[in-house]
Structure 1
Amino acid sequence: MKKLTHINQKGDAQLVDITDKAITHRKAIAEGTIQLNKETLKLIQANLIKKGDVLSTAKIAGIQAAKKTWELIPLCHSINLTKIDINFNIDKKNNTIVCQSSCECFAQTGLEMEALSAISIALLTIYDMVKAVDRTMVISNIHLVEKSGGRSGTYVSKDSVKAKVKKTANKKT
């Protein structure tokens, strides 16, 4: 079992020392879903929610969350993000909105928490903006899809689209 890096020899919480780590290009992609009533989804798409443009507001909230992750999660380092991208995919068949965030930087430590924070806050913003018309919403499946850079290399979730495409390609050969 790997040693937890945020715990010192006494068992106390600590900020991980990254002094000697190399600066590398790093990227993290995260994803999450919110399920809504069919009518609520239609209101969002028609931009008829009284609080305003739901998806644009959620995108800005997600960007802010990624930038402020180090202020929200006590043992996260502050990271100078060079790119934050947030996209929404509306799935009418399942009455869901899938949110995906992608964060990039050149740093000594990873930015998985920034990508995950972006998703969490973007989805919570959607919830907040439409809760007056739909209290049955369910936020789920917030997870890391992929990360690259640093000593530990690349990670791709077995559930990611990229992993599924690779698995399908391998079966054909």
Structure 2
Amino acid sequence: MSDGSDLTHVTEEGDAQMVDVGDKPDSARRAVARGRIELDPSTVESIRANELEKGDVLAVARVGAVDAVKHTWETIPMCHQIPITNVETEFDVGDAEIELSVAVETTGKTGCEMEALEGVTTGLNVIWDMVKAAEKDAEGGYPGTRIGGVEVVSKEKRKL
């Protein structure tokens, strides 16, 4: 256990603090995260056919993912507001699940993996919200709907 002297987000007194990255050189950075949502096969088929009442599920999830990337600093304490230079979203639609990958790029003093993770988790939550009616059972629960496998799959840092 740390004595507190080497903690980066907490002072020796225990107060939360943002890490000072001011002296770090700018670099080009990229992070990719992914996750998946498990759904009933009939729900996935309805998504493919764009037959759900709320509309184009993947289009709305893509917008939600990108918006979450841009607002990460507002939802994660001590996360720096960084200039997002690019966001790429990719859906892999299987028989009973959808995998979402989000790649984020920035040029700055700190990485963008939290932004990629926020994009993935929000994008998957948007899918859940869009398909609630199709996934709900007779008691109003979601026994087969699961979000999981959220992870950072790569991160890069290049000198400018």
Would you say same fold, with TM above 0.5?
A: yes
For residues 101 and 7 of structure 2, what CA distance do their matches in structure 1 show?
A: 28
Contact 1:33 1:139 in 2 (8 A): yes
Deviation digits for residues 76-116 of structure 1, max 9, x if unmatched?
A: 11011000011100122xx1101000000101011111000
Higher RCO structure (Cα 8 Å, ≥6 apart):
2
Contact 1:22 1:150 in 2 (8 A): no
Percent same amino acid at aligned positions?
40
Query: Where does 1:149-160 land on structure 2 (aligned, <5 Å)?
Result: 149=157
Query: Where does 1:34-53 land on structure 2 (aligned, <5 Å)?
Result: 34-53=37-56
For residues 4 and 111 of structure 1, what CA distance do their matches in structure 2 show?
A: 20
For residues 59 and 93 of structure 2, what CA distance do their matches in structure 1 show?
A: 14
For residues 8 and 152 of structure 2, what CA distance do their matches in structure 1 show?
A: 19
Equivalent residue in structure 2 for 1:23, among 21, 26, 49: 26
When the two structures are superposed, what TM-score results if normalisation uses the length of structure 2? 0.89
Across the aligned residues of Structure 1 and Structure 2, the Cα RMSD in angstroms comes to: 1.6
Report the Cα offset of residue 18 of structure 1: 0.6
**Number of equivalenced pairs:** 149
Query: Where does 1:52-63 land on structure 2 (aligned, <5 Å)?
Result: 52-63=55-66
Report the Cα offset of residue 11 of structure 1: 2.1
For residues 90 and 58 of structure 2, what CA distance do their matches in structure 1 show?
A: 9
What is the one-letter code of the residue matched to 1:144? V
Q: Does the residue aligned with 1:131 lie in a helix, a strand or coil?
A: helix
What is the one-letter code of the residue matched to 1:97? I
Partner residue, 1:64: 67
Q: Does the residue aligned with 1:104 lie in a helix, a strand or coil?
A: strand
Query: Where does 1:102-117 land on structure 2 (aligned, <5 Å)?
Result: 102-117=103-118
Unpaired runs of at least 5, structure 1 = 152-173
Tell me which moved more, 8-17 or 31-40.
Answer: 8-17
Contact 1:108 1:150 in 2 (8 A): no
Query: Where does 1:2-151 land on structure 2 (aligned, <5 Å)?
Result: 3-92=6-95, 95-134=96-135, 135=142, 136-149=144-157
For residues 20 and 113 of structure 1, what CA distance do their matches in structure 2 show?
A: 21
Q: List, as ranges, runs of 4+ consecutive aligned residues in structure 1 with deviation greater than 3 Å.
A: 1-4
